[in-house]
Amino acid sequence: MGYQYSVGQVCMNGHIITGDVNSGDATKFCAQCGEATISACPACKSSIRGDGRDSEWGSHFPMFGAPAFCPECGKSFPWTERSVEAAKELADEIEEIDEAEREKAKASFIALASDTPQTTVAATRVKKLIAKAGPIIGSGIRDIVVSIATDAAKKTMGL
């Protein structure tokens, strides 16, 4: 009884290639961005959880999204790290805030990808950062945040 999972495959930028590497859809590189693909956590080598199946009922659940963190070792996946770094680089472009505020916001990006007591604090800081960033940089940060943030963080930020 319970769920069984196939091995999923994701590119280094977080595009899902397949929810089942044995389906014949696995590729070495992503058709959307050209990046290499992985089917295991780079840190602990555990398989990436793909499509699910309820062994009791036989129901199939497709892989809905690339996970932010490995459920076996807790390390962030490469696509999560890349998104956080991109958001930090954009934050460095904002001239309207002081360095202390910028550093607090930059430290908050990774907290948006997990549901912890710090998620609300992080979402509030990043929301303030986006408001001060101006339309171009703010839009870029918002797009990145939407791709990595949990539903709770998005709700707090009004996204």
| 3-state SS string for the chain | CCEEEEECEEECCCCEEECCHHHCCCCCECCCCCCEEECECCCCCCECEEEEEECCCCCEECCCCCCCECCCCCCECHHHHHHHHHHHHHHHCCCCCCHHHHHHHHHHCHHHHCCCCCHHHHHHHHHHHHHHHCHHHHHHHHHHHHHHCCHHHHHHHCC
Residue 38 has pLDDT above 90, yes or no: yes
Give the pLDDT score at 59.
Answer: 75
- Convert the pLDDT of each residue in 118-155 to its tens digit: 999 999 999 999 999 989 999 999 999 999 999 999 99
